[in-house]
């Protein structure tokens, strides 16, 4: 049975043989995910759009160099990541250089674990408000942390693939992922604790 990577490799061969429609197929397949990744990296929709175009143009130009050693998606996300990092290093160096700290993260492990949060079924938690909270928490993270959590937990790449995309060791990726996940968890737990309190207050008002 062919894997997703095998199918992509077949399409890449067609593009290399001069089939431009095959390239457009790859673009349509990955544009949404690459745009999401770039938006999270640079937190600016217009800039993400420019980098999206640059990423796919670089991919088209560099396709001959794609060896198939990693999957096409890993290769493409690496181009997108490098395109964004190059732009940021040149134009917003502070966002890259000082991005290895999570400010104000609480180290005490058991703070604000809302019992309801830990026991509520997933589908009930996934409201539009929660989506906003998650997006906001990810946006608050420094660049390297939010890139890692997006690649691993949103995009579903393996730790080894994330390490290739980010050009970092697996140990560094794990460490950033641990802190990023805990930061998002803390934000959600605080949000749910606040919501529960508000619900209880609301509930107590209607009681006789």
Partner 1 sequence: MNECKFFCDQLSDYIDGQIDEDECRYLEEHLKHCPPCSSLLASLKITVQLCERALPADIPDDVRVALKDFLRNHCKQCV
Residues that bind partner 1 (CB under 8 A): 18, 20, 23-24, 27, 31-33, 35-36, 40, 49, 52-53, 56-57, 60-61, 107, 109-110, 113-115, 117-120, 122, 125-126, 130-131, 134-135, 138, 149-150, 153-154, 156, 159, 174, 177-178, 181-182, 184-185, 188-189
| Cβ 149 vs Cβ 184: under 8 Å | yes
CB of 32 to partner 1, least distance (A): 4
- Which residues, 6 or more positions from 73, have their beta carbon under 8 angstroms from its beta carbon? 4, 5, 8, 30, 157
Q: Is residue 182 within a helix (H) or strand (E), and if so which, with residue range? A: helix 170-206
C-beta of residue 156 within 8 angstroms of C-beta of residue 121: no
Give me the least distance between CB of 205 and partner 1, in Å please.
29
User: Given the complex with partner 1, which of 31 and 44 has the nearer CB atom?
Assistant: 31
Kindly give, in sequence order, each residue whose CB lies less than 8 Å from that of residue 57, ignoring residues fewer than 6 positions away.
none
Q: Among residues 13 and 97, whose Cβ is nearest to partner 1?
A: 13
- Report in angstroms how near the CB of residue 152 gets to partner 1 at its nearest: 8
Q: Which of 197, 186, 201, 200 is nearest to 133 (CA)?
A: 186
Instruction: Please say which residue, 82 or 112, places its beta carbon nearer to partner 1.
Output: 112
């Amino acid at each position: 049975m062919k894997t997703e990577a095998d199918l992509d490799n077949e399409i890449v061969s067609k593009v290399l043989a001069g089939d431009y429609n095959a390239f457009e197929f790859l673009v349509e397949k990955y544009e949404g995910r690459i745009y999401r990744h770039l938006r999270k990296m640079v937190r600016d929709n217009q800039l993400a759009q420019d980098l999206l175009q640059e990423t796919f143009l670089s991919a088209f130009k560099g396709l001959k160099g794609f060896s198939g050693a990693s999957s096409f998606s890993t290769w493409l996300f690496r181009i997108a990541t490098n395109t964004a990092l190059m732009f940021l290093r040149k134009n917003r160096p502070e966002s890259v250089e000082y991005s290895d700290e999570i400010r104000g993260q609480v180290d005490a492990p058991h703070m604000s674990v809302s019992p309801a949060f830990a026991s509520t079924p997933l589908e009930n938690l996934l409201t539009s408000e929660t989506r906003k909270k998650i997006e906001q928490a990810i946006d608050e993270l420094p660049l390297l942390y939010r890139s890692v959590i997006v690649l691993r937990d949103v995009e579903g790449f393996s730790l080894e693939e994330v390490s290739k995309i980010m050009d970092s060791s697996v140990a560094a990726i794990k460490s950033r992922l641990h802190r990023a996940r805990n930061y998002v968890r803390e934000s959600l737990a605080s949000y749910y604790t606040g919501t529960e309190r508000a619900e209880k207050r609301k509930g107590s008002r209607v009681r006789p």
